[in-house]
Structure 1
């Protein structure tokens, strides 16, 4: 039960996916349909005009589907992810894999989607890249978007200083191209592990194996000798050329366009895919993209804050903050100094954060109206506001200093004052309201 098809069957069982049998185009139409259903259902497109592959999207576009992917409930997602990181275990390696059923030399046979009007081209957005860490010999896995140049070349987006880029720089310093493998269409638990920012030298597939209860199997590729999930729908192997670049620009998590950059070029060696393959597309800046990137960070924050401050109940990366720039921390306050200490630690744990709001346990951190209520009734700007100036922030934030990557950050203590009578802050409740079934009264 560790491949994409198993997960789609689970979504069908839970009525969380819709099937589109009408033939659709990769040029804006798939993106448009995905955007329209954003936050409601996953989608499976059976017929694509430009390709014989099927295509799925919005697989983990809600916390419910994210929980299904890791075998959790919405209330214990982070406990499950944190435990998987703690108990990461190396997967078994198989001598066979279903993706070996077909082989091609044409990257353009895939249904690569054109999403937005001003992007530099179509992009593969769900691609997980595998490379060997030059220092430890362990594999590294991470998300990187790919733009086709021709049938055997992609540009590959890499953030400087991140793990794949460090592997690439090492290979280049030794006068070599970097051999990599790429998977498209894997069980979302594998994607979630690939999105997690593990320590340098760690193998994210060990985390994926733990999330999948030790049932993940890898298979070794003929050219790169890298090991990838055996149940992958599509596997690409080749090399990132040390001396070639290509211009591109794309839409980021904030639904804004990134600036034009020259990125390294990938050259194809082999393209493998299963019979009747399923391509996975992630619509940039929409719920699946944000949750895939933000939820592993949310798990990290929950783990680190609860370990350092036991009074922490829950940390949420907010939808309004694109699940990346804003966080709400729910605490059981014991001392008036708790919120500001927690604000400081939260910023330290995730550098991209721009705003942290601390609330009490009667405030739902996932409900924007509830959080605003806490600010309206429990926050005083002259003593509960923290402003941190001229510090490193997110490169995605267009309002920041993009050259120096400097920004200002805001911390807000929206908790009840311990020096005031608690009765003044108590939310009124109606007894047994949860047992009232409203349809019984309106027939």
Structure 2
């Protein structure tokens, strides 16, 4: 099966799911429990005060579960995602999606969580929006958070220039509202594909289908005409109004408050949901959010940087950089200029990056202590530092010029200078150290 329930059962068998039977509230309590579980088990809430639905959180909050969602190991995540992107397959279309078991026109039946004390309201954080790319005649899928305004309206967070915003602007310029569909509660492989920033005109559901070994099926909706996963837990369809906005602000993946923005408004036509439906909540700024957004970009960086810099061994988006702003690139350097080229190409591959550190192939790029060690022993600021001023950066970074989307970027060459004797940089090793077990001695 290709639904969220199958994945929940899978992680339950490996004891990576905690089930909460105690009655909990959507106002801060669910968020607080999820925060406590960060980096540990997924959590299923079975008794929610404000709703009859169940709720799952922290679903792919570890690299192990992320890998499991795409039938990979932690070491093969990137190759699996890259292969799915390069070998995308059209899903089959079927009648009678499971979400058609129930319908409503009232958004208040959903257990929408209030997460942080200063946010503008509760948000649906796992919502994937599907719309038609008018230029390419292809469907697009992307994550957008939704804030309920009443029983039939949401505000929709859009990033200017991204694909949904481009289709919305196209519709608005033609005097039209934009028909869309929204899913909440899909197999995490669908979420991972939806988080990937595919090229203009490519359908992310085809990537999801490839991740799911060609087993994903879609059902066409009657009002919007969009095709959504047949096994989705909750499906909404309606339209984004061309002439209405609402102000909202939220916590972003940096775990900081974004500034208030006037955002478009979605109007509900109909809500569909499965029997005993499971709502999926993603806690902003915590591990599941960062992995869902950052890991597809990390896969893209590994593909793109290796293509242009063949000496590249591995690219890692760091936890301290929120899996978004900082990257460490491991290379097998042949010439001193290789590190500078790697800095340039890595920034070009992901414009939100703010800092790139280049290390040698004897340094683990995922280990912050080893990376700092490389900086301490192989880096000289007067020669190995690259500063790029007033360039396009992440709109999320509160220290940047958020109005004009400008930032200063930092490149660090923490590789061995080839002009110096190599013995001076060799990390000393003890023979047979890895074969010794302390339990044999203590």
Q: Which residue matches 2:66?
A: 66
Give the Cα–Cα distance (whole angstroms) in 2 for the partners of residues 218 and 417 of structure 1. Answer: 54
Larger mean CA deviation between 319-328 and 63-72 belongs to 63-72
State the SS of the aligned residue for 1:390: strand
Deviation at 1:440, TM superposition (A): 4.6
State the SS of the aligned residue for 2:74: coil
Number of positions where the alignment pairs a residue of Structure 1 with one of Structure 2: 442
Give the Cα–Cα distance (whole angstroms) in 1 for the partners of residues 59 and 426 of structure 2. Answer: 39
Cα 1:334–1:116 change in 2 (3 A) is: same
Cα 1:90–1:420 change in 2 (3 A) is: same
Q: Which residue matches 1:141?
A: 141
Give the Cα–Cα distance (whole angstroms) in 2 for the partners of residues 293 and 339 of structure 1. Answer: 27
Give the Cα–Cα distance (whole angstroms) in 2 for the partners of residues 170 and 326 of structure 1. Answer: 34
The CA deviation string for residues 242-300 of structure 1, in whole angstroms up to 9 with x for no partner, is: 11111111011111111111111111111111111110000001111111111111111
Larger mean CA deviation between 400-409 and 279-288 belongs to 400-409
State the SS of the aligned residue for 1:48: coil
Q: Which residue matches 2:342?
A: 342
Q: Which residue matches 1:353?
A: 353
Give the Cα–Cα distance (whole angstroms) in 1 for the partners of residues 69 and 437 of structure 2. Answer: 31
Q: Which residue matches 2:168?
A: 168
Deviation at 1:439, TM superposition (A): 4.0
Q: TM-score, normalised by structure 1?
A: 0.98
Deviation at 1:437, TM superposition (A): 3.7
State the SS of the aligned residue for 2:387: strand
Q: Is the Cα contact below 8 Å between 2:309 and 2:341 reproduced in 1?
A: no
Deviation at 1:347, TM superposition (A): 0.6
Give the Cα–Cα distance (whole angstroms) in 2 for the partners of residues 359 and 279 of structure 1. Answer: 42
Aligned pair 1:405/2:405, yes or no? yes
Q: Which residue matches 2:37?
A: 37
State the SS of the aligned residue for 1:183: strand
Q: Which residue matches 2:83?
A: 83
Deviation at 1:427, TM superposition (A): 1.7
Q: Which residue matches 1:414?
A: 414
Give the Cα–Cα distance (whole angstroms) in 1 for the partners of residues 295 and 289 of structure 2. Answer: 10
Gaps of 5+ in 2: none
Gaps of 5+ in 1: none
Deviation at 1:409, TM superposition (A): 0.6
Larger mean CA deviation between 416-425 and 390-399 belongs to 416-425
Q: Which residue matches 1:13?
A: 13
Q: Describe how 1:32-431 pairs up with structure 2 within 5 A.
A: 32-431=32-431
Q: Is the Cα contact below 8 Å between 2:70 and 2:77 reproduced in 1?
A: yes
Cα 1:39–1:341 change in 2 (3 A) is: same
Give the Cα–Cα distance (whole angstroms) in 2 for the partners of residues 13 and 426 of structure 1. Answer: 45
Deviation at 1:42, TM superposition (A): 1.1
State the SS of the aligned residue for 2:329: strand
Give the Cα–Cα distance (whole angstroms) in 2 for the partners of residues 260 and 316 of structure 1. Answer: 32
Give the Cα–Cα distance (whole angstroms) in 2 for the partners of residues 432 and 111 of structure 1. Answer: 56
Cα 1:441–1:277 change in 2 (3 A) is: farther
Cα 1:32–1:170 change in 2 (3 A) is: same
Q: TM-score, normalised by structure 2?
A: 0.98
Give the Cα–Cα distance (whole angstroms) in 2 for the partners of residues 315 and 226 of structure 1. Answer: 36
Give the Cα–Cα distance (whole angstroms) in 2 for the partners of residues 10 and 366 of structure 1. Answer: 27
Give the Cα–Cα distance (whole angstroms) in 1 for the partners of residues 297 and 117 of structure 2. Answer: 30
Give the Cα–Cα distance (whole angstroms) in 1 for the partners of residues 285 and 16 of structure 2. Answer: 21
Q: Is the Cα contact below 8 Å between 2:393 and 2:406 reproduced in 1?
A: yes
Give the Cα–Cα distance (whole angstroms) in 1 for the partners of residues 395 and 364 of structure 2. Answer: 29
State the SS of the aligned residue for 1:11: helix
Give the Cα–Cα distance (whole angstroms) in 2 for the partners of residues 269 and 402 of structure 1. Answer: 35
State the SS of the aligned residue for 1:166: helix
State the SS of the aligned residue for 2:250: coil
Q: What RMSD, in angstroms, separates the aligned Cα atoms of the two structures?
A: 1.0
Give the Cα–Cα distance (whole angstroms) in 2 for the partners of residues 5 and 441 of structure 1. Answer: 47
Give the Cα–Cα distance (whole angstroms) in 1 for the partners of residues 128 and 248 of structure 2. Answer: 19
Give the Cα–Cα distance (whole angstroms) in 2 for the partners of residues 424 and 230 of structure 1. Answer: 60
Deviation at 1:146, TM superposition (A): 0.2
Deviation at 1:426, TM superposition (A): 1.7
